[in-house]
Amino acid sequence: MSEFGLLKTFARELVSLETSARVPEPDLVMEDPEKVAAFTRAGREDGVMAPVYLYHCAQICSVIRPNETVVDLGCGPATQLAMVARLNPETNFIGIDLSDEMLDRARAHCKEQGLKNVTFQKGDITALSDLPDASCDAVMSTVVLHQLPNLRAFHKCLEAARRILKPGGGLYMVDFGHLKSERSIDYFAYQYADRQPELFTIDYLNSLRAAFHLSDWQKAAAVHFAKDATLYSTMVMPFMVALKSRVRRPLTGDVASSLLAMRKEMPVWHQKDFRDLAFFFRFGGLKCPMPWRSILRISSPEAGSVHHQALKGCRTERDCTRERPRPIRPGKTTASVEHPSSASKVCPMAWAFSAVRRSDQRC
């Protein structure tokens, strides 16, 4: 990773007068089996997006309660949904997706984990026609809204979420924010392309290009959730944007201890990425529900854990990351290299943490 490259990208975004146009994703519904497989593989809890899913899981857990009904808009292969459902066995979840391929994988994933509190429906998240008004207690959606074709669909999705949500219900919707420069988008998309499946990297690039601008989020939030939720974005530049209701349940007991244990089991670099993502959101106004001191603490995975077993052949983190093939660009035939690292659709932003903050800083 080049810290100079990151700082140059930040500087470009801060001073640039350019406003890159939003480009909708070419495949608005992911049905291609190979693309679905690549997305699923990179996104599983022990995959490259592990720190991202854990961070959002903590945020979601703080807005839902036992004996409630929670709807996940665009659940995909249910990696995020299954994680939240496992930690909240007394809460009922409904996953909504328009892709049959994704729903098949989602059902299989939840069945594999023995989850009895999750059901799935095929549906359009801009309409939610099968769900009555004020029929759910909370709505969640993670890194999905950029797949909508246009601003009209974006507003319709938030309007539908508002319609099915009970008064005082919980809300957590998070996605990418659109960067000003195409060069910045390209930089983040390909910076760690050697560490994830090629199709995932291409999907990442398309996702960044399809992200809605922060101003779009601000207008939509003001129209549909003006009094019920607050809009946040990562500091320095809005690489990620989150719309969240007030905290409805402090993280305590089994949920809190499970989240802390899951983070502790992660490889060291995943723990750092979690900390860095929490840092960027914290200084954008959104605090992580987990104790800040525990977030700052980095520890080695315990012997016997999944991540510990995976690292047996590596003496240090550096040993596991020193071989880095050149990034893969669309049209190239170079094989992708899977790697147990922290690259993901979110973590490149978080890695800038090391370039702007001393490692011993405390907040």
pLDDT band at residue 3 using 50, 70 and 90 as cut-offs: low
Higher pLDDT, 184 or 330: 184
51 domain residue, yes or no: yes
pLDDT band at residue 198 using 50, 70 and 90 as cut-offs: confident
268 domain residue, yes or no: yes
pLDDT at residue number 357: 41
Q: Average pLDDT over the chain, rounded to whole?
A: 81
363 domain residue, yes or no: no
Chain segment 71-101, per-residue pLDDT in tens: 999 999 999 999 999 999 999 999 999 999 9
Q: How many domains does the chain have?
A: 1
pLDDT at residue number 100: 93
Quick one: average pLDDT of 327-343? 38
361 domain residue, yes or no: no
Largest distance between two CA atoms of the chain: 56
The predicted model scores a pTM of 0.80
320 domain residue, yes or no: yes
pLDDT at residue number 34: 62
Q: From CA 137, how far away is CA 122, in angstroms rounded?
A: 20
Chain segment 321-333, per-residue pLDDT in tens: 333 333 444 444 3
Domain that holds residue 102: 3-356
Range 295-333 burial, b when 16+ CB lie within 10 A, else e: bbeeeebeeebebeeebeeeeeeeebbeeeeebbeeeee
The CATH number of the domain holding residue 198 is 3.40.50.150
Question: Of 113-122, 177-186, 236-245, 330-339, where does mean pLDDT reach its minimum?
Answer: 330-339
344: its two tokens: 């993901």
A 10 A CB-CB count for 159 gives: 15
pLDDT at residue number 224: 98
Quick one: average pLDDT of 259-263? 95
pLDDT at 254 over 70: yes
362 domain residue, yes or no: no
135: its two tokens: 């029929």
259 domain residue, yes or no: yes
Q: Which residues contact 132 (CB under 8 A, 6 or more apart)?
A: 164
Q: From CA 129, how far away is CA 124, in angstroms rounded?
A: 8
246 domain residue, yes or no: yes
